Amino acid sequence: MAQKTIYFGRFISTPQPVELLIRVGAVLVDRNDGKGVIEKADWTVRDPKDAISKFGVDAPVITTKENGFFFPGFIDSHIHASQYPNVGIFGKSTLLDWLTTYTFPLESSLGNPKSPMYKDAVEPPNPLARANAVYNRVVSRTLANGTTTASYYATIHVDATNLLADVAFAKGQRAYIGRVCMDQPETCPDYYRDESTEETIAKTKASIEHCKSLDPSGELLAHIITPRFAPSCLPETLSRLGALAQEQDLRVQTHISENLNEVKLVKQMFPDQATYTDVYDHHGLLTPRTILAHAVHLSKDEMKLIKEKKTKISHCPASNSALGSGFCPVRVMLDEGLEVGLGTDVSGGYSTSILDAVRNACMVSRHVGYVNGGDSRYNLGVAEGLWLATVGGAKVVGMEGRLGGFEEGMLWDVQEIVLGDVDSRGEGDNTEVDIFGWETWENRVDKWVWNGDDRNVRRVWVGGRLVHERR
Amino acid sequence: MAQKTIYFGRFISTPQPVELLIRVGAVLVDRNDGKGVIEKADWTVRDPKDAISKFGVDAPVITTKENGFFFPGFIDSHIHASQYPNVGIFGKSTLLDWLTTYTFPLESSLGNPKSPMYKDAVEPPNPLARANAVYNRVVSRTLANGTTTASYYATIHVDATNLLADVAFAKGQRAYIGRVCMDQPETCPDYYRDESTEETIAKTKASIEHCKSLDPSGELLAHIITPRFAPSCLPETLSRLGALAQEQDLRVQTHISENLNEVKLVKQMFPDQATYTDVYDHHGLLTPRTILAHAVHLSKDEMKLIKEKKTKISHCPASNSALGSGFCPVRVMLDEGLEVGLGTDVSGGYSTSILDAVRNACMVSRHVGYVNGGDSRYNLGVAEGLWLATVGGAKVVGMEGRLGGFEEGMLWDVQEIVLGDVDSRGEGDNTEVDIFGWETWENRVDKWVWNGDDRNVRRVWVGGRLVHERR
């Protein structure tokens, strides 16, 4: 039976981009079964016992460590679950050769025994067994890094995609599951594409149905329509996917304007549309529920159109740096009124950690400033990075006001952070975040952001359900 | 009594920038007391017992895990030990305001009870106790991250600087200890500077003597002459320090051309010298034993002069990105024949990990390529990054041929790396490096570089002495 729980201690969040809100108090969460929301919050409580009497409920109390705090769970608005085994494996490639050299072989190996990855295999390939290992691991690792919500790309394979849905649902992560759509023979290899628009639509529908069968409400798990990117889909497929998203009121995710050669390719392949953004708009894919990953090289006109359509952006700084894609001007997009969150973009990005994405977002923003004559207005600070990772991400996945903070009515998707204590002899805990004791709380958050990892994530809850506890 | 040891298993190193050398075999190390070198190496041995008979020595055998390897210890050619508590604390600052806002207050607090950091202190400040905690912790953390050699900046305080020497020597890290020289009233605060050239020289000599008293050979521990950077020293001080380095044949370390405003400041303060590099040359500080940190904005003429003088460069990519200093063109410097290693530059850099510096060096090189029209020739690969961290670093600290590899006669300054195993159900170890089993060894090294941390460093030796073992 679902049980109420009181959380007591230090709560840190970023209601506004430049505001690090640090409070001591208690909140009452109404259930611990994946549907739990904050029933009451009280920022005057200074003792766990007071919380019980204030809330009038004899519920168990979970307390942060003195050198720790509750923080909203991270939202990864762009991650390729199927690419997880390739994190760090990209050599000196850039987007288009990275896809053919590293990515299509791996993705295809989760469903196709004839994938080039199996060419030297001794035993008969078992793609679904591989998918099982990969998907279990990536969901565990993202949870361990504090990611409570993830918008996943799987592969073109229905069975493996449905398996990812099963795994995320069983582990309790809030997840949007995308079966990857790619059927354009000009750009997709024979061993890894759908044969026709009909096949693409039918397989997408099969995956939609599976997600609905697991969670009819779509609150914890839902399918997300996933045309890989414009060049990988037949134009008719793009239109049909747009129509399907509208029909069923589903989220959409795709890539846009990551790399200059990709932008050129789109221009060649879609000569009738003026811009990359127009291509998606023309095919009915520029919706308020659409997440566009990367958006490194958008023109001001494209930003304007995206804003009009209320379409969302997932900024993936680690990936953009690792693949040499360019510098995404997040400050400009925020100033234009666009809604932006963060993505790890595994495995274009090398890390499953959204905290790493916060760091890289801060660094990339300084690069944007540097190439604009040393203009520090482009800089993102730590609070802004954390805001993108939580409140910004909530807007991007259509959960604004329900995720990313500690206000009454919000879902209890939360991570408990614990930092390392250094004693007077210089002995400390086995983490990279060493707190000497004189640091302000603002500075402790700085230190967590720049050196924190999964060792600082003690527990993670989604909808009040405990979904990760550090070993 | 010093004892011989055999090391057996997988050995990975980077003898050339683009060569990842992966060997199985055994080496015999002649002593385990901090002076141990490789007496014999045999790359035909496939069994620990064979090693004993081949070497004709009944020594204990230390074997790598199947999913692990020995790798040369990292060389951090630029790290401010005194700034360690500030890792991650830099806000949106750039070099010059970062120094006055964050850095001088912290550094001064390790020696001066009137440091601004103590302004709200309740108890009487105890600077040396603080220095003790900070220095113990930073040496432990760098060792835990596989740094076997570090070129440290301490502070202006002789007692605290000598304490850093004591700590590094006791823990067995190979270390160059720099008492920071700064006596230019125009740029240094009253609370944190030497009063005159005489004081600077006298205090530097006191620290030199202390290092010599600990290690007369200078092999494991030595003083390094440390004018903070040209703007922080009186011109006479720069000349006297140059003379002192020559007299006593000591290493020198300083900063150069990190930030464009700094370059302007140097031009104003030293109008008679054409370039920043000329300033150091003019004062006798551009020696073959000098380490210049950053070198982001050097002209080709400056590179030529540095090459002529055989002066070394420490590339600090994390710091340059975090402080928005610019993109250091490492490929250009290597092509020009300069000798380059890596530095963490704690706390301009946020991490004590040279592996993190390898990652950031790779990313920054892609930025250099991107701003040069997408030219991938600028890219550094993983092997090149590791080469900079080991063989490159050995050249920079004047230990070429003695550190950075597994050839006979080289010092046993080595880290044992262990990666994480993922099983068929997707369960794995508690590290960020997940190996599924099908990866090549080249790919495993990629995965280590991009996601590895101190959890992957199982043991660390310096001169054959075990100086760190993971808890």
For an interface test with B, which of A355, A432, A455 has the most B Cβ atoms less than 10 Å from its Cβ? A432
Name the DSSP letter for residue A213. Answer: H
Whether residue A167 sits in one domain with residue A61: no
Report the b/e string of B149-178 with b at 16+ CB within 10 A.
Answer: bbbbbbbbbbebbbbbbbbbbebbbbbbbb
Whether residue B227 sits in one domain with residue B95: yes
User: Distance between CA A141 and CA B166 in Å, rounded?
Assistant: 40
At residue A303, the pLDDT reads 98
**Contact indicator for B396, B313 with CB cutoff of 8 Å:** yes
Whether residue B102 sits in one domain with residue B51: no
For an interface test with B, which of A421, A422, A435, A469 has the most B Cβ atoms less than 10 Å from its Cβ? A422
Asked if the bond preceding A325 is cis, omega within 30° of 0, the reply is no
At residue B430, the pLDDT reads 85
B1 min Cα distance to partner chain A (Å): 29
Chain A environment of B84 (Cβ under 8 Å): 434
Provide mean pLDDT across the span B73-86: 98
| A449 with B379: Cβ contact below 8 A | no
Supply the ipTM of this predicted assembly: 0.98
Mean pLDDT score across all residues of chain B: 97
B471 pLDDT band, cuts 50/70/90, is confident
Whether residue A106 sits in one domain with residue A11: no
Q: Which of B85, B324, B379 sits opposite A370 (nearest CB)?
A: B324
At residue A460, the pLDDT reads 98
Nearest chain A Cα to B126, which residue? A424
Whether residue B390 sits in one domain with residue B454: no
| B370 with A324: Cβ contact below 8 A | yes
Considering all CA atoms of chain B, what is the largest pairwise distance in Å, rounded to the nearest integer? 69
At residue A129, the pLDDT reads 98
Q: What would you report as the CA-atom Rg of chain A, rounded to the nearest whole angstrom? A: 22
At residue A471, the pLDDT reads 84
| Angle at CA of residue B285, ends B352 and B222, nearest 5° | 50
Adjacent-strand bridge partners of A70: A11, A416
| A446 with B134: Cβ contact below 8 A | no
Where is the domain boundary, B396, B424, B451?
B396
Q: Which of B84, B362, B426 sits opposite A134 (nearest CB)?
A: B426
Residue found under tokens 């919000």: A410
Chain B environment of A423 (Cβ under 8 Å): 133
| A424 with B129: Cβ contact below 8 A | yes
Provide mean pLDDT across the span B381-399: 98
Whether residue A256 sits in one domain with residue A109: yes
Contacts of A262 (CB under 8 A, 6+ apart): A95, A96, A229, A231
Contacts of A167 (CB under 8 A, 6+ apart): A132, A135, A136, A139
Whether residue B179 sits in one domain with residue B47: no
Q: Encoding tokens for residue A174?
A: 């809030």
Q: Which of B351, B374, B446 sits opposite A451 (nearest CB)?
A: B351
A354 min Cα distance to partner chain B (Å): 13
Whether residue B118 sits in one domain with residue B171: yes
B190 pLDDT band, cuts 50/70/90, is very high
Give helix A158-171 / helix A127-144 axis angle, nearest 10°.
30
Whether residue B147 sits in one domain with residue B60: no
Neighbouring C-alpha atoms within 13 Å toward the C-beta of A441: 16
Where is the domain boundary, B396, B417, B442?
B396
At residue B9, the pLDDT reads 98
At residue A440, the pLDDT reads 97
Whether residue B50 sits in one domain with residue B174: no
| A434 with B135: Cβ contact below 8 A | no
User: Distance between CA A75 and CA A176 in Å, rounded?
Assistant: 11
| B87 with A451: Cβ contact below 8 A | yes
Chain A environment of B371 (Cβ under 8 Å): 371
| B350 with A451: Cβ contact below 8 A | yes
User: Distance between CA B69 and CA B389 in Å, rounded?
Assistant: 17
Q: Which of A90, A133, A454 sits opposite B424 (nearest CB)?
A: A133
Cα-based distances in Å from B425 to A151, A306, B111, B431: 22, 42, 55, 17
Where is the domain boundary, A396, A417, A450?
A396
Q: Which amino acid does the sequence have at A184?
A: Q
B243 min Cα distance to partner chain A (Å): 37
Q: Which of B376, B450, B471 sits opposite A88 (nearest CB)?
A: B450
Provide mean pLDDT across the span B333-359: 98
> Hey, which bits of A228-366 come out as E strands?
251-256, 290-294, 312-315, 339-342
Beta-carbon pairs below 8 A across chains A and B: 176
| B141 with A432: Cβ contact below 8 A | yes
* Residue A180 three-state SS: strand
User: Distance between CA B69 and CA B20 in Å, rounded?
Assistant: 13
Provide mean pLDDT across the span A206-224: 98
CATH of the domain at A44: 2.30.40.10
Chain B environment of A134 (Cβ under 8 Å): 426, 436
Number of domains in chain A: 2
| A323 with B448: Cβ contact below 8 A | no
CATH of the domain at A374: 3.20.20.140
At residue A58, the pLDDT reads 92
Query: How many Cβ atoms sit within 10 Å of the Cβ of residue A120?
Result: 7
| A376 with B94: Cβ contact below 8 A | yes
Beta strands A221-227 and A180-181 are: parallel
Whether residue B205 sits in one domain with residue B324: yes
User: Distance between CA A92 and CA A101 in Å, rounded?
Assistant: 11
Provide mean pLDDT across the span B357-377: 96
Whether residue B211 sits in one domain with residue B153: yes
Q: Which of B133, B326, B426 sits opposite A136 (nearest CB)?
A: B426
Contacts of B216 (CB under 8 A, 6+ apart): none
pLDDT tens by residue, A350-404: 999 999 999 999 999 999 999 999 999 999 999 999 999 999 999 999 999 999 9
**Distance from the Cα of residue B13 to its chain's centroid:** 18
Burial class (CB in 10 A: 0-12, 13-18, 19+), A249: exposed
pLDDT more than 90, % of chain A: 98
Report the b/e string of A398-417 with b at 16+ CB within 10 A.
Answer: bbeebbbbbeeebbbbbbbb
Residue found under tokens 């360690």: B84
| A434 with B137: Cβ contact below 8 A | yes
pLDDT tens by residue, B242-282: 999 999 999 999 999 999 999 999 999 999 999 999 999 99
Mean pLDDT score across all residues of chain A: 97
At residue A423, the pLDDT reads 97
At residue A2, the pLDDT reads 84
Q: Which run of H or of E encompasses A268?
A: helix A260-269
Q: pLDDT higher for B430 or A273?
A: A273
| A88 with B379: Cβ contact below 8 A | no
Chain A environment of B362 (Cβ under 8 Å): 322
Beta strands B414-418 and B68-72 are: antiparallel
Nearest CA-CA partner of B73 in B6, B169, B170, B145: B145
A52 min Cα distance to partner chain B (Å): 35
A189 pLDDT band, cuts 50/70/90, is very high
At residue B2, the pLDDT reads 85
Q: Which of B133, B439, B449 sits opposite A424 (nearest CB)?
A: B133
Nearest chain A Cα to B85, which residue? A436
| B450 with A424: Cβ contact below 8 A | no
* Residue A465 three-state SS: strand
Residue B1 scores a pLDDT above 80? no
Nearest chain A Cα to B436, which residue? A85
Q: Encoding tokens for residue A193?
A: 């594409």
Phi and psi (nearest 5°) for B387?
Answer: -60, -45
| B133 with A439: Cβ contact below 8 A | no
Contacts of B27 (CB under 8 A, 6+ apart): B6, B7, B11, B38, B40, B41, B42, B406, B412
Nearest CA-CA partner of A383 in A71, A13, A68: A13
**Contact indicator for B189, B101 with CB cutoff of 8 Å:** no
User: Distance between CA B198 and CA B236 in Å, rounded?
Assistant: 10
SS3 per residue for chain B: CCCCEEEEEEEEECCCCCCCEEEEEEEEECCCCCCCEEEEEECCCCCHHHHHHHHCCCCCEEECCCCEEEEECEEEEEEEHHHHHHCCCCCCCCHHHHHHHHHHHHHHCCCCCCCHHHCCCCCCCCHHHHHHHHHHHHHHHHHHCCEEEEEEECCCCHHHHHHHHHHHHHHCCEEEEECEECCCCCCCCCCCCCCCHHHHHHHHHHHHHHHHHHCCCCCCEEEEEEECCHHHCCHHHHHHHHHHHHHHCCEEEEEECCCHHHHHHHHHHCCCCCCHHHHHHHCCCCCCCEEEEECCCCCHHHHHHHHHCCCEEEECHHHHHHCCCCCCCHHHHHHCCCEEEECCCECCECCCCHHHHHHHHHHHHHHHHHHCCCCHHHCCCHHHHHHHHHHHHHHHCCCECCECCCCCCCECCEEEEECEEECCCCCECCCCCEECCCCCHHHHHHHHHHHCCHHHEEEEEECCEEEEECC
At residue A430, the pLDDT reads 85
Phi and psi (nearest 5°) for B187?
Answer: -120, -15
Range(s) of the domain holding residue B439: 5-72+405-469
